Amino acid sequence: MKLNVTMSPELFSRLQPIARTVAPNTPEPRRAFASLLQLAEADLAAEPIITAPTTAEFKLALAAAWLGPRCPPSPAVWDSLATHLLPLAAQASVDALELVTAHGCGWRRAIPAGATGWDGRWDGALLALTERIDRFVQDAHRQLLARGVPLPEEARDCGAALPLLIRLYRPLSPLHLDTGEALVFETTDAGVLIRGASGHEEQVPPGAKALFTARIPGDAPLRLTRSGNSTPWVAPSGALIRVTAMDFETRITLKHETTETTAKLSPGDSVCLRGPACLDIWECTCGDPGCARRHRLDHWDPAAPHGSLANFLGTAVKGPLKTLQVNSFQQGMLFPYWAREGF
């Protein structure tokens, strides 16, 4: 079933003034949305529109009016909501507000580079999702302090929610190496310095990781050369390069399918990766095998058991357990982010 596009502009024009009475990043989104629903239902009851929407359509339209741009959406936007969200919203166990929040951030739709307005990511949805992520960040900080972990206040206030949000909807960033260009991994007393092509430079402190996926044009394999060793290290396309910084050494692991090889580097040692090549930089640096499934918004499944967006975000941020434990917390996105920040 699709939304009645002919009545959508009228419905939206009725709902938008009501939706704008509450900020989208409210700390009580469910309660606020329930209040908006009551106001909107009363408004429609006072002066019904020609074609009444179904309950699911009504909730989706109100959520879009709350979290979307201020201008009226095009018919294509309503078609997208109908195609991707309406069948899910019709299920009693699925929250329409969560669907629209994720959809506004890019879930189940393609967003062209530079797109704005309804075609881009919606500011209201981004604000709403950032607030929800921040609640889990604050909870993790409180739990760690209660366990006597010497975590500074700066960690709580460093604004982790926004970087984690970006990692959720943009998990990979491209890095291109032309012929003759190189990416160098150099072990130092302060961790690993990664520098090279196109001005790319990042410092990985001890306890943190960096991850890259090799995407190689043509059939030529990617070659990595260790300092003082003339034998190249061959990486096939699709291989994962994991860089782990430790207190007294660096480990560079090359993993492809079932094969995994690790080189240990002492301070002063380096590894050089030469182009031509295309690399995908992993924004989340947890290094956990379940990262692609747990830490990317595209993999959220609202129809799965316990598949609420809140549960998905809690697992993504803090790991699979509500109560922090070492092995569980390391599987979340927050631990590696704090590690990269030096906390």
Domains defined for the chain, CATH in brackets: 5-113 (no CATH), 129-170+288-341 (no CATH), 173-282 (2.60.120)
Say whether pLDDT at 317 is over 50.
Answer: yes
> Of the ranges 4-13, 48-57, 155-164, 276-285, which is most confident?
276-285
Backbone angles phi, psi at 335, to 5 degrees: -55, -50
Tell me if 177 sits within 8 A of 278, measured CB to CB: yes
pLDDT score at 152: 65
Beta-ladder partners of 203: 193
- The pLDDT tens digits of the residues spanning 110-129 come to 999 899 999 999 999 999 99
Q: How distant, in Å, are the alpha carbons of 35, 96, 144, 277 from that of 56?
A: 16, 7, 40, 47
The pLDDT value recorded for residue 13 is: 84
Q: Tell me the C-alpha distance between 214 and 146, whole Å.
A: 41
According to the model, what pLDDT value does residue 157 have? 61
Which residues are CB-neighbours of 276 under 8 A, at least 6 positions away? 177, 178, 179, 181, 216, 217, 220
User: What percent of the chain has pLDDT above 70?
Assistant: 92
Which residues neighbour 301 within 8 Å (Cβ) at sequence distance 6 or greater?
307
88: nearest Cα among 75, 100, 71: 100
For residues 258-262, give the mean pLDDT: 90
- Between CA 162 and CA 139 the distance in angstroms is 16
Burial 274-293 (b: 16+ CB within 10 A, else e): bbebbbbbbbbbbbbeebee
Strand 250-256 and strand 259-265: pairing? antiparallel
Please give the sequence-ordered ranges of beta strands (E in DSSP) within the chain, or none if there are none: 172-177, 182-188, 191-196, 201-204, 209-215, 222-226, 233-235, 240-245, 250-256, 259-265, 270-274, 277-282
Alpha helix (H) residue ranges in 47-122: 55-67, 75-84, 86-89, 96-104
Q: Give the CA distances from residue 87 to residues 48, 60, 84, 103, 262, in Å, rounded to whole numbers and listed in that order.
A: 25, 11, 7, 14, 47
